[in-house]
Structure 1
């Protein structure tokens, strides 16, 4: 029998940090767990990323209530993954915002993703009984959307495929800061199991072109200052490239998934083995890189059963 996923043994609570990255703009981070964000407007608050359960969402709400009593009017979700969206009901927001593509993925694979992630990462789904069901947006958009929180302008943009096909970023121009979701990570592995490796670098270029002063990444510490921002962008780029290129070489030679696993480990282990959730992400990253290199453009849907079959094949 194959050994358990690395994430199944991750049972320790993470220390939460709540960092102001611009006036009235905060990053909620937790040692490599999924981050959230807070944008305070004149009369209300926008939350970025809803966490995996209402239980975890309430930890974000506790931090929000330490700094403001304004109502939460909007929740913006950068993509469809269960660990990002299933806590949305806790916020009681009038508007839940996603890209058109992200909503389409909820339709196509939202339940399968929930079942898959629940199996992989049980700690993040403690209190799952309070999840009312899949999270559906009230408003979607194709390329860009502007939301005004009073006089504060917030820009939501789809800049290209990366972590998923439907990723968005959220920019607050008056403070020149951005929330990137899992397109950018800091000292945390990128989860690429639903990603688009060959597009990811161009999407990072599009983010870099904004020359923002701070970023709240998908995982890892808040990035404050252009030097830290650019370091994280380039580290993410290196991670994605270092995963894809060895797998692509194996695929080009007709090698197996297990061959790709071995080659990716040889390249990535020396550079990234101390990154948060590295061992958890690696099998899914290799499987997707191997698929994309063989011409499978749309990521295959992960199910709880497919997870286990893939993991067993890599262990044998």
Structure 2
């Protein structure tokens, strides 16, 4: 993260847009620490994908989803355990069934408290939004995948294995051709590498790229990234291209016995020159560190 104050990560449900029949997205509007949030409806139930950070955001999302549901059953899932995606789940208790994959449930249990304190440490609006927020506790934990019947529409919850986190999950709406990726994909910014040794080293640039290769092969009609504008299959193609670029430039220098500090400086300058309009430049250094460690392993 940057040292600059983080703007208030407020979800704005009034901006919700229908991207396919009965598939709505509350867009993040490029506000830091605001995810793209999904609401997917069937004839019997409605699924919410991610909550926003903290109680007040999640209350807005729950109210919006309840209006969409109009008495139908509610479900909630999160694409991964990071606070802006999952740390509003407590608001849905007794109102919705919260489902996650087993690796994400373990991330919530083992890393959730640390990430909660880290995000509170950002201070300002972020800390206020997390005041009194507990670590989420899922109702249903699944292993290899979960097909959720919403009535006339089955949504597929699929764990991907290590990538951005150990417990990443994508949400597929096959009849609409829509794929929610969480932070496996972003648009308009450098890929987010939560590489925080020794506390969290689960992110894997190598495995992340392999995950995206598999997802891209399906050519979804609409890709909803964790942050940034929605798009088509090119969203996945562009992130794959960047991860290959980051890997190749890092490993070429690593193999020449260049020190990591020098690698960071050169790769950072090169990638900013190639992508001057992208946000999140602070994640380049984290990505280089991750890939250096993977190359050395």
What TM-score, normalized by structure 2, do the two folds share? 0.85
Cα RMSD of the aligned pairs, angstroms, is 2.5
Match of 1:274 in 2: 277
- Alignment partner for residue 290 of structure 2, among 279, 285, 288? 288
Contact kept? 2:188, 2:228, Cα under 8 Å:
yes
1:197 aligned onto 2:205: yes
1:290 and 1:169 mapped to 2: Cα distance? 27
Contact kept? 2:158, 2:171, Cα under 8 Å:
yes
Structure 2, unaligned runs of 5 or more: 195-201
Deviation for aligned residue 1:76: 0.8
Deviation for aligned residue 1:155: 0.7
Deviation for aligned residue 1:66: 5.9
Give the 5 Å matches for 1:158-197. Answer: 158-193=159-194, 194-197=202-205
Give the 5 Å matches for 1:42-57. Answer: 42-57=43-58
- Alignment partner for residue 213 of structure 1, among 217, 221, 235? 221
Contact kept? 2:213, 2:240, Cα under 8 Å:
no
- Alignment partner for residue 9 of structure 1, among 5, 21, 25? 5
Structure 1 residues 24 and 198, CA gap change in structure 2 (3 angstroms): same
Does the residue aligned with 1:207 lie in a helix, a strand or coil? helix
Deviation for aligned residue 1:201: 2.2
Does the residue aligned with 2:186 lie in a helix, a strand or coil? coil
1:85 and 1:7 mapped to 2: Cα distance? 24
Does the residue aligned with 1:275 lie in a helix, a strand or coil? coil
2:100 and 2:123 mapped to 1: Cα distance? 24
Contact kept? 2:8, 2:126, Cα under 8 Å:
no
Contact kept? 2:216, 2:237, Cα under 8 Å:
no
1:234 aligned onto 2:242: no
Contact kept? 1:15, 1:31, Cα under 8 Å:
no
1:54 and 1:15 mapped to 2: Cα distance? 11
Structure 1 residues 124 and 66, CA gap change in structure 2 (3 angstroms): farther
Match of 2:78 in 1: 77
Match of 1:247 in 2: 250
Does the residue aligned with 1:217 lie in a helix, a strand or coil? strand
Say which is worse superposed, 66-75 or 232-241, in terms of deviation.
66-75
Match of 2:40 in 1: 39
**CA deviation map 1:75-131 (0-9, x unaligned):** 111111122111112233432111111112223322222222333475444321141
Structure 1, unaligned runs of 5 or more: 224-228, 296-316
Higher RCO by CA contacts (8 Å cutoff, separation 6 or greater): 1
How many residues are paired up? 284
Deviation for aligned residue 1:237: 1.1
Does the residue aligned with 2:16 lie in a helix, a strand or coil? strand
Structure 1 residues 11 and 152, CA gap change in structure 2 (3 angstroms): same
1:121 and 1:268 mapped to 2: Cα distance? 30
1:126 aligned onto 2:128: yes
Contact kept? 2:101, 2:142, Cα under 8 Å:
yes
